[in-house]
């Protein structure tokens, strides 16, 4: 404040102790003060102060080159991703990967997961959603059933992605499901209706698949041809060693299940059989 006061005083009265950059010539101010009435004098004085101040403003170099925020458009910050899901290890994701390549999506932005669509507790999907996607990004999926097959889950997850995370979703086989377009009320209403309809169809298809599977199993059993699932082959010595490590606190149950490729049900079934056979029940 004191420095500003000195500058104004110098501009009004001329101060020989200040450099030319800090003080305007006193004659200019005096000349302005001697013309017209008091109101006119004040206007001229303010004008001279403004002109002199503007001359003394330093222009700093742009160390960011051409990356100034004002010249950047929002599109330059948007990143594109694709989520690819296959239901089983036997299904091939190549077709979906080809579509991602055709869209020009970077390999690092393609998330491939082999998991059931019955719910959204999938590690790769959750990692993408919670740690990678940011507001304004675009997420591509080949079809709505690649996102999931649970009606309520699909609708809730769609709302979470678009409203909470703030990403746009593009369903490649359904042009109406492209949240980048038609963001007005009517467009949003149409998208919501299509989403509800296709989510219902996805769940219905999943239920039909399960029904056909049950019917096929029942027919095979009736004909005496059903053999059930192929028994899981586990090395008993490896299983005993890993189970011992779990019970000593060195390993977790999940580690052993992943290591041996066992489902939760099969894993605990094997533990029960092992304990019954050896009589070594966990305390």
CATH code assigned at 165: 3.40.50.1390
Q: Is residue 66 assigned to a domain?
A: no
Q: Which of 202, 223, 257 is the last residue of a domain?
A: 202
CA distance 112 to 109: 10
Q: What is the pLDDT of residues 72-116, one digit of tens each?
A: 445 557 899 999 999 876 578 899 999 999 999 999 999 999 988
Q: Is residue 15 assigned to a domain?
A: yes
Are residues 167 and 129 part of one domain? yes
Q: Is residue 60 assigned to a domain?
A: no
Q: What pLDDT is attached to residue 224?
A: 76
Please give the tally of structural domains in the chain.
Answer: 3
Question: How many alpha carbons fall within 13 Å on the CB side of residue 52?
Answer: 22
CA distance 138 to 19: 57
Contact call for residues 243 and 256 (beta carbons, < 8 A): yes
Are residues 105 and 164 part of one domain? yes
CA distance 210 to 253: 29
Are residues 257 and 165 part of one domain? no
Contact call for residues 35 and 44 (beta carbons, < 8 A): yes
Q: What pLDDT is attached to residue 70?
A: 41
Q: What pLDDT is attached to residue 71?
A: 41
Are residues 33 and 78 part of one domain? no
Are residues 243 and 169 part of one domain? no
Are residues 267 and 168 part of one domain? no
CA distance 158 to 174: 15
Q: What pLDDT is attached to residue 110?
A: 96
Sequence-distant (6+) residues with CB within 8 A of 245 are 251, 256
Q: Is residue 226 assigned to a domain?
A: no
Q: Which of 202, 227, 252 is the last residue of a domain?
A: 202
Are residues 79 and 194 part of one domain? yes
Catalytic residue, from 39, 50, 87, 248: name it: 87
* Annotation marks residue 70 as catalytic: no
Mean pLDDT to the nearest integer, 233-238: 84
Q: Is residue 159 assigned to a domain?
A: yes
Give just the sign of the alpha carbon dihedral 208, 99, 180, 123: positive
The structure tokens 């070594």 sit at 280
Q: Is residue 88 assigned to a domain?
A: yes
Q: What pLDDT is attached to residue 265?
A: 85
Contact call for residues 37 and 57 (beta carbons, < 8 A): no
Query: How does residue 29 score in pLDDT terms, banded at 50, 70 and 90?
Result: very low
CA distance 37 to 44: 11
Q: What pLDDT is attached to residue 155?
A: 86
Are residues 262 and 159 part of one domain? no
Q: Is residue 207 assigned to a domain?
A: no
Q: Which domain holds residue 248?
A: 236-278
| Higher pLDDT pick, 44 / 12 | 44
| Higher pLDDT pick, 49 / 190 | 190
Are residues 253 and 163 part of one domain? no
Q: Is residue 229 assigned to a domain?
A: no
The enclosing H or E element of 83 equals: strand 80-86
Are residues 102 and 21 part of one domain? no
Residues facing 169 on adjacent strands: 139
3-state secondary structure of 209: helix
Distances (CA, A) of 249 to 240, 245, 246, 255, 272: 14, 6, 5, 12, 19
| DSSP character at residue 133 | -
């Amino acid at each position: 404040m004191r420095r500003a006061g000195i500058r104004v005083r110098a501009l009004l009265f001329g101060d020989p102790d200040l450099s030319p950059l800090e003080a305007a010539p006193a004659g200019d101010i005096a000349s302005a003060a001697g013309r017209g009435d008091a109101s006119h004098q004040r206007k001229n004085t303010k004008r001279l102060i403004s002109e002199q101040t503007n001359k003394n403003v330093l222009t700093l170099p742009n160390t960011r080159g051409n990356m100034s925020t004002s010249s950047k458009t929002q599109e330059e910050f948007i990143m594109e991703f694709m989520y690819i899901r296959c239901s089983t290890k036997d299904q091939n994701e190549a077709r979906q990967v080809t579509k991602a390549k055709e869209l020009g999506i970077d390999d690092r932005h393609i998330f491939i997961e082999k998991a059931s669509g019955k719910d959204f507790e999938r590690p790769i999907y959750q990692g993408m959603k919670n740690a990678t996607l940011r507001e304004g990004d675009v997420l591509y999926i080949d079809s709505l059933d690649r996102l999931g097959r649970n009606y309520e889950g699909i609708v809730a997850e769609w709302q979470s992605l678009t409203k909470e995370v703030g990403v746009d979703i593009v369903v490649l086989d359904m042009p109406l499901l492209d949240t980048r377009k038609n963001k007005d009320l009517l467009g949003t209403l149409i998208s919501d209706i299509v989403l509800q309809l296709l989510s219902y169809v996805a769940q219905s298809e999943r239920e039909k698949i399960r029904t056909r599977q049950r019917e096929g199993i029942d027919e095979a059993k009736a004909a005496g041809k059903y053999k059930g699932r192929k028994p899981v082959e586990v090395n008993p010595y490896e299983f005993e060693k890993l189970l011992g490590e779990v019970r000593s606190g060195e390993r977790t149950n999940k580690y052993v299940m992943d290591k041996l490729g066992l489902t939760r049900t099969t894993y605990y079934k094997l533990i029960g059989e092992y304990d019954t056979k050896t009589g070594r029940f966990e305390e």
